[in-house]
Amino acid sequence: MTTPVIGVLALQGDVREHLIALASADAVARPVRRPEELAEVDALVIPGGESTTMSKLAVLFGMLEPLRERVRAGMPVYGTCAGMIMLADKLLDGREDQETLGGIDMIVRRNAFGRQNESFEAQVDFSGIGGGPVEGVFIRAPWVESVGGAVEVLATYDGHTVAVRQGNVLATSFHPELTGDDRVHAYFVDMVRAGL
């Protein structure tokens, strides 16, 4: 069985937690900050953090276009929270100068579940993952307002879409890397392995 090399975009956000979760799911995990590091990985995780800061740093580090090119070329990508925002084709409540990578035909609303002090945890039924619901940690989390026909909705919470997949691209509103439950990361590693 091939062991995929999966990068975690290390410009801002909860990078370390994703590296640990990916390693637990039998991937080789490494931080990615520069285009040459991006070129060396089979797939990428875009962590949670602050989406406007992340987009500005991607421009500053010369990563925005290389990231867009790899996503367009079919590289598997998984985005959590701010990562979901980065993978949206369209944003609601984003800043005017905010850049996204695209990759999923969806409209995402930033901070849809509320501000920092309204963060919460909830059980989420996730299609394609066995063993019962996953624990969702929602921190200033977005939700998906609408999706195109090629997008598969994998999970909803309180009537809102919180996990989606389009081809090789996966996104969740919540942070599974903060729970110690690595099933969502294992699901992504299996997606990556299937394409190798």
Q: Which of 17, 81, 99, 185 is catalytic?
A: 81
Q: Is 18 marked active-site? A: no
First-residue to last-residue Cα distance in the chain: 10
Find the catalytic residue in 17, 18, 99, 177. 177
From 17, 18, 99, 175, active-site residue: 175
Positive/negative CA dihedral, 23, 192, 37, 88 = negative
What are the structure tokens assigned to 80, written together?
């959590």
Instruction: Say if CB 163 and CB 171 are below 8 A apart.
Output: yes
Q: Report residue 188 as tokens.
A: 């992504």
Question: Does 175 participate in catalysis according to the annotation?
Answer: yes
Distance CA 125, CA 40 (A): 34
Partners of 45 in beta bridges: 8, 78
Give me 147's structure tokens: 């999706």
Please indicate whether residue 160 is annotated as part of the active site.
Answer: no
DSSP 3-state assignment of 159?
coil
Enumerate the active-site residues. Answer: 81, 175, 177
